[in-house]
Amino acid sequence: MSDAASATPKKHAPQPPSASNFIRAAIDADLASGKYASRTWGGQPGPAKAHEGAATDPARIRTRFPPEPNGYLHIGHAKSICLNFGLARDYGGACHLRFDDTNPEKEEQEYVDSIIAAVKWLGYGWEHAGSSHLYYASDYFDFMYHAAEHLIETGHAYVDSLSAEQMRALRGTLTEAGKDSPYRDRSVEENLKLFRQMRDGRFREGEHVLRAKIDMASPNINLRDPAIYRIRKVSHHRTGDKWCVYPMYTYAHPIEDALERITHSLCTLEFEDQRPCYDWLLERLAEGGLLARPLPQQIEFARLNLTYVVLSKRKLVQLVAERHVDGWDDPRMPTLAGARRRGYTPEGFRLFAERIGVSKADSWIEYSVLEDCMREHLNEVAPRRMAVLDPVKLVIENYPEDREESCDVPNHPQKPEWGKRQVPFSRELWIEREDFTETPPKGYFRLFPGNKVRLRYGYIVECTGYDQATGTVRCRYDPDTRSGTPGAEKVKVKGNIHWVSVKHACAAEVRLYDRLFKVPHPGGNEDLNPDSRKIVTARLEPALGQARAEERFQFERHGYFVVDPLDSTPLAQVFNRAVTLRDSWKT
Ligand code: ATP
Ligand code: MG
């Protein structure tokens, strides 16, 4: 399935199959033309002189996944991770995990740790040719500072002393050229002196900024002398108080890519207009001999938008801070930590990334596409079990009170090699409340007085009534209809229901999740679904009593469930529903 089949495209665009998308086509062309054949690698990121004369890069291409450690990764990041690490793997390249930690205010070690865990969980690593490629942009601060002085010295950067408001007023609009700042023509000496004083903490925040000197009349606003360094008197989670000037994303990102010798720098479409600036900056630093050629190239793809969730760290932070959810790893959260706890699988995410592909057009993907991928994988790996989520008691009047027997139940209907297990059967069973009614609507084939159903893997029973006082359903069984015995099929029934023996059942908390937002394209928290979580006490067949944290099962007729790794204890188990068996979300 391509984007076109599963989504509502905003713009019309041809959708290449994911196996050969436009990014792969660009890489194929670059490899065929030998664009990167002469690329050397000095063993670690660095300026031109670190790579000059070094051996040919053992990585045929280099990509990177560059999260800012200011939150937990979400499903949108999974798309980018699968894309970048997947391409590196397929082309014999390396993918770097780089923390883009240039913004000291919002960054924390907790986020760094969670990002590492999430990328590993998805099944990717950053080792290549015997070395690890885990990097921090903050390790390049010295180089970035030095490069900024170089830009000043070569007349490509100046210190501006306008207020943010004045600067905005001179920037112009989409239809109107900007105007030069009165500080644009400061001498190199003055710029250098001011910039050094900025670095030395001699000014207040906002008093001065360093700007690239490009073109205030450019039709592309990004080229109208973008700010590249600003004063921020904040401690950084890795560099502490060493710096009080920090590079802007526009400046830092291309430099990070070039130092790491990235070949293909993949980013989302909102950066398309910044590409000329990316190229301008790298050219200036390469012609000055600071950065090695060939330079990295930026390629943009459409970000993932998924119905019924928000994929923006800023909004996710808010959900956590305002306690609409229990935390970053709440199973309702579209974070990878939440999805993992929900019972989603890395294989399901990789299938999803493959299926949605990459395109140049923004679109919304239906949440059900992700759920289908999870179902497909869980169907393969989850053993079947019986669990009653909303129990009502069924008493078999003609079954001896002290009798017990074992039913043979396959662990997976399509995988006989997984064997069978013994599930105890006795006179009193739990069945689902909705599998019985006193007054059946048309087309109801389950239990009602006078009707027969099969108790899966057991016997056929006929309902004889309902006991109001005790709230139990009564029935009689036919001893000749035990599943798997000759003649079991002699009586034909339309209903086939699951059950758990009362005497043998374990009780467990089961958390049933629904969509977090009630509308497909959520705006703010007013769109939250107040019923996104329902908690029930379920009765489970005894084999589930031994289930371990994160073990996944299919509860027959209900869906896929996982043992909650945080709240579950051997004495009080908690299961989360990952996904129902069929789509109940379609819009
Ligand atoms: P957010 O807006 O959620 O904060 P971000 O883009 O600011 O996301 P980063 O940590 O900067 O988050 O992102 C790391 C990488 O993940 C970037 O290369 C970015 O393009 C990519 N990415 C983020 N969100 C998505 C998305 N929804 N779809 C695809 N890629 C994404
Ligand atoms: Mg960002």
CATH code given to domain 4-141+248-304: 3.40.50.620
Q: Do domains 4-141+248-304 and 151-247 have the same CATH topology?
A: no
CA distances from 236 to 45, 196, 250, 436 (A): 21, 19, 19, 62
pLDDT of 105: 83
Domain 387-498: which CATH number of 1.10.10.10, 2.60.40.10, 2.40.240.10, 3.90.1150.10 = 2.40.240.10
Mind listing the pLDDT tens digit for each residue in 143-165?
Answer: 999 999 999 999 999 999 999 99
Mind listing the pLDDT tens digit for each residue in 60-103?
Answer: 999 999 999 999 999 999 999 999 999 999 999 999 999 999 99
For range 441-445, the mean pLDDT: 95
Q: Is 79 in the pocket of ligand 1 (CB under 6 A)?
A: yes
pLDDT of 229: 98
Q: Are 232 and 205 in contact (CB under 8 A)?
A: yes
- Nearest atom (ligand 1) to Cα of 66: 14
User: What distance in Å separates the CA atoms of residue 477 and residue 459, rounded to the nearest whole number?
Assistant: 7
Domain 151-247: which CATH number of 3.90.800.10, 3.40.50.720, 3.30.450.20, 2.40.30.10 = 3.90.800.10
pTM: 0.93
Question: What average pLDDT is seen over the chain?
Answer: 94
Q: Is 68 in the pocket of ligand 1 (CB under 6 A)?
A: yes
Give the chain's length: 587
Pocket test for ligand 1, best of 21, 23, 74, 77 (most atoms within 8 A of CB): 77
Maximum CA extent, the chain: 102
Instruction: Look at 91-95, 310-314, 376-380, 397-401 and tell me which has the smallest mean pLDDT.
Output: 310-314
Instruction: Look at 18-32, 335-349, 499-513 and tell me which has the smallest mean pLDDT.
Output: 18-32
For range 377-389, the mean pLDDT: 98
User: What distance in Å separates the CA atoms of residue 110 and residue 121, rounded to the nearest whole number?
Assistant: 16
User: With bands split at pLDDT 50, 70 and 90, how would you rate the model's confidence at 17?
Assistant: very low
450 has pLDDT over 60: yes
How many whole angstroms from 224 Cα to the centroid of ligand 1?
25
Give the ligand at the shortest distance from the Cα of 310.
1
For range 486-490, the mean pLDDT: 85
Q: Is 64 in the pocket of ligand 1 (CB under 6 A)?
A: no
Mind listing the pLDDT tens digit for each residue in 38-67?
Answer: 899 999 999 999 999 999 999 999 999 999
Closest residue by Cα to atom 3, ligand 1, is: 312
* Cis preceding linkage at 400, omega within 30: no
225 has pLDDT over 70: yes
pLDDT of 89: 96
Tell me the Ramachandran region of residue 154: left when phi exceeds 0, alpha when psi lies from -120 to 50, beta otherwise.
alpha
User: With bands split at pLDDT 50, 70 and 90, how would you rate the model's confidence at 584?
Assistant: low
Closest residue by Cα to atom 15, ligand 1, is: 67
Give the ligand at the shortest distance from the Cα of 271.
1
5 has pLDDT over 80: no
Measured from the Cβ of residue 351, the count of other Cβ atoms closer than 10 Å reads 18
Domain ranges for the chain: 4-141+248-304, 151-247, 305-344+361-383+504-587, 387-498
Mind listing the pLDDT tens digit for each residue in 288-315?
Answer: 999 999 999 999 999 999 999 999 999 9
Tell me the one-letter amino acid at 419: G
CATH code given to domain 305-344+361-383+504-587: 2.40.240.10
